[in-house]
Copies of this chain bind each other. A is one copy, B any other.
Amino acid sequence: MTALQEMGRRAKAAARELAAAGELRQKALFAMAGAVEDSKQEILSANRLDLDQAERDGMSAPLMDRLALSPDRVRGMADGIRSVAAQADPVGQVVSGFLRPNGLKIEKVRVPIGVIGMIYEARPNVTADAAALCLKAGNAVILRGGKEALRSNEAIAGAMRGALEACGLNPDCVQLVGDTSRASAVEMMRLTGYLDVLIPRGGQGLIRSVVENSRVPVIQTGAGNCHVYVDNSADVGMAAEIIFNAKTSRPSVCNAIETILVHREIAQRALPAIQKRLDEKHVELRGCERTRAILGDGVVPATEDDWAAEYLDYILAVRVVDSMDEAIRHIARYSTGHSEVIVTDSYENARRFTAAVDAAAVYVNASTRFTDGGEFGLGAEIGISTQKLHARGPMGAFELTSYKFIVTGSGQIR
């Protein structure tokens, strides 16, 4: 038995205990939050070692920022665990139920999935969020973070495991993989029989590698080539604000937009207003011919690659379209199915756009930046699913459950 198989075996045993521990699970979550706060010094010292190493390795400033913890961020982690603890328990919910003509009562009841595997990158807060959400839904979790954050993750996971034990729960409900080599990620992808699902969270390269190579069922998260379509009936000021917010409030995240599509009848008025707002943050525009005819040669000519790009940067592709249908076709071709917006004052167009566009979240007159577990009211999120099986969009504890049928009879045979 390899080290990971042994972790899998222990996780399965822990998951079985956990499924039966209703009230104790809630109590343990509050204890975990307290333990993270109480271990602030240890966590910050471990994080300091990770940061020193990262600096020696020449890590970029944005990545350093993702890795860095502060007293505030540690408190934020603890508060996140508490907000998960305070939610309604998804386990045991009777989803539906009915009586068959033969007298059998069939109830569909929500149950934990079992053992969740997480493969993620630099941010140590994922360790706390993921453990809390998995535990909330009655699942054991095996966490494999990035090597850059290993010491921080060990300190956070250690605090949480201590709290579990103090509550009388099996600490193996939360296990951290110490081996952060590529080999350990590959082995997790082969850990069928132990892992019920694997959730990758991080950059596109990581996610694609897991989706293509895993034998364990995967929930795909993250990639967002998101669009705003500005309808000919749009309020130009509203369109400019939504685009400015969706592009610049945090360009590096998956719910930021990458391309805008502007109806030709409003382009002459809308494009200069949008450009003016985006100029405040020095956003580079890459436009189609008609865009450049309106905004001038300062706009870089867009190529086919621009329509498909997820820039995650202060760059925005711009295309003038003849109709909403052309916008819908563009989105069908290039969208990653994450978040799509129409800005419109037409009831009929709002109705048609939301029906025709196939994405996890389709917006009328609002920013894509709301596609987020917290903003959707889930407390925290374990990721944003861009696939259609099992869960789509922001995933909280509820999405980490399955169901079973409980059928009660009085001797029925068929």
Q: Which residues of A contact B (CB under 8 A)?
A: 16, 19-20, 98, 100, 104, 106, 111, 113-114, 196-197, 211-212, 215, 217-219, 235, 238, 241-242, 244-246, 249, 332, 350, 354-356, 358-367, 369-371, 375-377, 387-390, 392-393, 402-414
Q: Are A389 and B390 CB-contacts (below 8 A) given A245-B413, A405-B360, A409-B364?
A: yes
Q: Are A407 and B358 CB-contacts (below 8 A) given A217-B389, A388-B196, A414-B249?
A: no
Which of B98, B114, B389, B410 is A402 in contact with, Cβ under 8 Å?
B389
Q: Is the CB of A387 within 8 A of B217?
A: yes
Report the nearest B residue to A246, measured CB to CB.
B413
Given A360-B404, A392-B404, 4 more pairs with CB closer than 8 A? A114-B388, A362-B407, A363-B409, A365-B410
Q: How far is the CA of A19 from the CA of B406 in the complex (A)?
A: 33
Q: How far is the CA of A324 from the CA of B360 in the complex (A)?
A: 45
Q: Are A361 and B407 CB-contacts (below 8 A) given A245-B413, A367-B412, A414-B367?
A: yes
Q: How far is the CA of A256 from the CA of B82 in the complex (A)?
A: 46
Which of B211, B215, B365, B388 is A113 in contact with, Cβ under 8 Å?
B388
Q: How far is the CA of A215 from the CA of B218 in the complex (A)?
A: 10
Q: How far is the CA of A410 from the CA of B366 in the complex (A)?
A: 7
Q: Are A408 and B358 CB-contacts (below 8 A) given A241-B413, A375-B414?
A: no
Work out how many copies of this chain go into the complex: 2
Residue numbers in B under 8 Å from A359 (CB-CB): 404
Q: Does more than half of chain A's interface fall in helix, strand or loop, or is it mixed?
A: mixed
Residue numbers in B under 8 Å from A114 (CB-CB): 358, 388
Q: How far is the CA of A364 from the CA of B408 in the complex (A)?
A: 5
Report the nearest B residue to A375, measured CB to CB.
B414
Residue numbers in B under 8 Å from A387 (CB-CB): 217
Q: How far is the CA of A387 from the CA of B113 in the complex (A)?
A: 9
Q: Is the CB of A393 within 8 A of B405?
A: yes
Q: Is the CB of A408 within 8 A of B366?
A: yes
Q: How far is the CA of A115 from the CA of B267 in the complex (A)?
A: 36
Residue numbers in B under 8 Å from A217 (CB-CB): 217-218, 387, 389
Q: Is the CB of A370 within 8 A of B113?
A: no
**Nearest CB on B from A128, distance (A):** 23
Which of B242, B390, B413 is A390 in contact with, Cβ under 8 Å?
B390
Q: How far is the CA of A219 from the CA of B388 in the complex (A)?
A: 12
Q: How far is the CA of A387 from the CA of B16 in the complex (A)?
A: 17
Q: How far is the CA of A215 from the CA of B217 in the complex (A)?
A: 10
Q: Is the CB of A366 within 8 A of B411?
A: yes
Report the nearest B residue to A353, measured CB to CB.
B406
Q: How far is the CA of A411 from the CA of B234 in the complex (A)?
A: 11
Residue numbers in B under 8 Å from A412 (CB-CB): 365-367, 370
Residue numbers in B under 8 Å from A350 (CB-CB): 408
Q: Is the CB of B376 within 8 A of A106?
A: yes
Q: Are A392 and B388 CB-contacts (below 8 A) given A242-B411, A363-B408, A369-B413?
A: no
Residue numbers in B under 8 Å from A389 (CB-CB): 113, 196-197, 217, 219, 389-390, 402
Which of B215, B354, B355, B413 is A367 in contact with, Cβ under 8 Å?
B413
Residue numbers in B under 8 Å from A111 (CB-CB): 358
Q: How far is the CA of A388 from the CA of B217 in the complex (A)?
A: 10
Q: Is the CB of B414 within 8 A of A16?
A: no
Residue numbers in B under 8 Å from A212 (CB-CB): 215
Q: How far is the CA of A332 from the CA of B387 in the complex (A)?
A: 31
Report the nearest B residue to A411, measured CB to CB.
B238
